[in-house]
Structure 1
C-alpha cells in the first residue's frame, strides 16, 4: 500500500511536456498582463519617439543632429539622412540603462515576487517542481528581453519612416547597402541586443532566489547593474573591464560594418553565455536547496 502511494506521488510529480508548456504559457500571460510590465514597455517605446522628435526639431533649420561635436547616441548624425538609423540610435540609447533596467526588474521579481505574494509555495505543490519552475521563470525573462528589444526597434522603425526619408543606407565602412539589407541588419542587431541581456537576466534570477522580497530583489539587481556600468567606465580597471557583462554591449554597431566585424560580437555572446551558465547554476543550486515557507 505504501509503495503504491509512493508510486502515485512520483507520477504526480512528473507532469507531461504539455503541462510544462501550459505553465510557461500561464507565466508569459501573467507577466505581460501586469500593469508594471506594460508601463516598462511603454517607457521603452517612448524613447525612440522622443529621440526622433528631438532630432526632427533640431534639424528643422538645417542643423546637424547631435551637435557640431557629434554628441549623442551612436548613429544619431545619420538619422536625418535615413530613418532606419533611428532603430540603431534608439537601441544604442536604451541599451546602457533603460533596457537592462526593465530586464532587472522582471528578473529580480521572478521568484522573490512570488514569495512576497505568498504564491511560491503553492506553485511548487502544483506540481511544478523547482527546476522546472526556475527554467520557466528564466524563459519568461528571456521572452521579455526579446519583446522589450523589439518594442524599441519596431517603434523606432515606424517613427523613423514617418519623420525621415528611408532607402539605401551607408554603412560605417562607407559602403552602400540596400534598404532590404539594412532591415535585415536591423533585425539581427535587435536579436544581438536581446541576447546581450541574458547574462543580466541570469544574475537577476539568482538575486531573486536570495530574498523573499520582490522590491529588494529588483532594487539589488538594478543596483548591481548601475555599479557594473560605473566600474566599466574606470580606466584603472582596464584589466577586468572585459569581464563585466556590459562591456561589449555596444558591439552590435559592428554589424553595420561591411564586412561585419565579428570579434567583439562573439566576445559579447560568449561572455553572456558564461554569465548565464554561472549565475543560472547558482540560482538552481540556491533555489533547489532553500526552504520555501511562503
Structure 2
C-alpha cells in the first residue's frame, strides 16, 4: 500500500462512521418524538399553561363580577396585566416536577428500552461503537429537554395572548421593558430552563445503563427525582441542599431583573454541568464495560 493510500484509509473509514452517527442521531430523534408515550408527555406539558391561564382568567372574571381584589402570589397576578407572564409562571410550575419527570422517562428508557426490546445488540454491531451510541442517546435526551421546554413556553405564550393583553413588561426590579425585549427574555429563560435539566438527563442515562428493563429505569429515575425534591425541602439538610441538582432551578427568575442578576443562574448551570460530567462518565464507564446479552 502506498503512503497516500495509507493516509487516505483512516479518513475513508472515518467518513462512513460520521455519516452513520448522524443518521443514528436523526433516527433516534425521529423515533423518540414519534412515540405515543413522548407525545402524551408533551401533550400534558402543553396542557399545564392552558389550565393555569384558564384558572387565572376565571378567577379574574369572578373578582371583577364580585368587585373584590385578586389574591394569590404577585407573580401569578401579573398574568392578568400581561399574558407574557404566563410563560414565566408555566415554566416555574412545570420545572419542579413535570418537566424533569418527562426528561426522566425519556432518559431512563434510552438504553434500557433498547435492551428490553432486544435491539441493543444490533445497534452495537454498527460501526459507531458504544461511545458514539451513548453520546447519540444523550444528545437525543438533551434535544428532548429543549423541545419539552419550548412546548411549555409556546403553549403559555399562545394561551396568554388569547386570554390576556400583551404589552410592556414590568420586571422584578420594578422597571419597564418593551414587549420585544420581554419576549427575548422569555426565550432566554426557556433556554436556561432546558439547560437546567441536563443533570437529570445524565442521571437518567446512567440509571438506564444499570438495568435491562426500561420500566425499571424510568421508575428509578423518577423516584430519585422525587427523593431529591423532598431532601431539598428539609430544613435540617441545608448544608447539602446547595449541591442538589434541583436547588437552584428557579434561579431563572433573576433573568427578569434589570439589570439581570447572573450569579445564581451561572451557579445553577455550573452545577448541572458537574452532574452531567459525573453521571455521564459513570454511564460511559458502565456501558462500555457491561456484557450486552439483549
TM-score range, shorter chain: over 0.9
Report the CA distance shift for 1:65/1:196 in structure 2 as closer, same or farther (over 3 A). Answer: farther
Report the CA distance shift for 1:13/1:65 in structure 2 as closer, same or farther (over 3 A). Answer: farther
Corresponding residue for residue 275 of structure 1? 275
Segments of structure 1 that go 5 or more residues without pairing to the other structure are 1-7
Deviation, 1:14, is 7.7
Count of residues in Structure 1 that have an aligned counterpart in Structure 2: 283
Corresponding residue for residue 266 of structure 2? 266
CA contact (8 A) 1:23 1:136 kept: yes
Looking at structure 2, the residues matched to 149 and 278 of structure 1 have their Cα atoms a distance apart, in angstroms, of 24
Corresponding residue for residue 289 of structure 1? 289
Looking at structure 1, the residues matched to 230 and 97 of structure 2 have their Cα atoms a distance apart, in angstroms, of 11
Looking at structure 2, the residues matched to 184 and 283 of structure 1 have their Cα atoms a distance apart, in angstroms, of 35
What is the CA deviation profile of residues 90-129 of structure 1, one whole-angstrom value per residue up to 9, with x for unaligned ones?
0000000000000000000000000000000010012331
Corresponding residue for residue 176 of structure 1? 176
Deviation, 1:84, is 0.1
Report the CA distance shift for 1:291/1:28 in structure 2 as closer, same or farther (over 3 A). Answer: same
What is the CA deviation profile of residues 153-185 of structure 1, one whole-angstrom value per residue up to 9, with x for unaligned ones?
000000000000000010000000000000000
Q: Does 1:51 align with 2:33?
A: no
CA contact (8 A) 1:92 1:250 kept: yes
Report the CA distance shift for 1:277/1:65 in structure 2 as closer, same or farther (over 3 A). Answer: farther
Corresponding residue for residue 20 of structure 2? 19
Corresponding residue for residue 167 of structure 1? 167
Spell out the pairing of 1:26-65 with structure 2 (5 A cutoff): 26-62=27-63
- TM-score when normalising by structure 1: 0.93
Name the structure where helix makes up a greater proportion of residues: 2
Looking at structure 1, the residues matched to 69 and 143 of structure 2 have their Cα atoms a distance apart, in angstroms, of 33
CA contact (8 A) 1:59 1:65 kept: no
Looking at structure 1, the residues matched to 70 and 215 of structure 2 have their Cα atoms a distance apart, in angstroms, of 40
Looking at structure 1, the residues matched to 178 and 98 of structure 2 have their Cα atoms a distance apart, in angstroms, of 30
CA contact (8 A) 1:138 1:202 kept: yes
What is the CA deviation profile of residues 161-217 of structure 1, one whole-angstrom value per residue up to 9, with x for unaligned ones?
000000001000000000000000000000000000000000000000000000000
Spell out the pairing of 1:179-194 with structure 2 (5 A cutoff): 179-194=179-194
Report the CA distance shift for 1:13/1:118 in structure 2 as closer, same or farther (over 3 A). Answer: farther
What is the CA deviation profile of residues 22-75 of structure 1, one whole-angstrom value per residue up to 9, with x for unaligned ones?
11000100100100000000000000000000000000033699963x34xx72
CA contact (8 A) 1:65 1:80 kept: no
Corresponding residue for residue 213 of structure 1? 213
Deviation, 1:13, is 8.8
Report the CA distance shift for 1:55/1:32 in structure 2 as closer, same or farther (over 3 A). Answer: same
- TM-score when normalising by structure 2: 0.93
Looking at structure 2, the residues matched to 254 and 62 of structure 1 have their Cα atoms a distance apart, in angstroms, of 30
Aligned residue for 1:233, secondary structure, equals coil
Aligned residue for 2:209, secondary structure, equals helix
CA root-mean-square deviation: 2.0
Aligned residue for 1:61, secondary structure, equals helix
Report the CA distance shift for 1:67/1:221 in structure 2 as closer, same or farther (over 3 A). Answer: farther
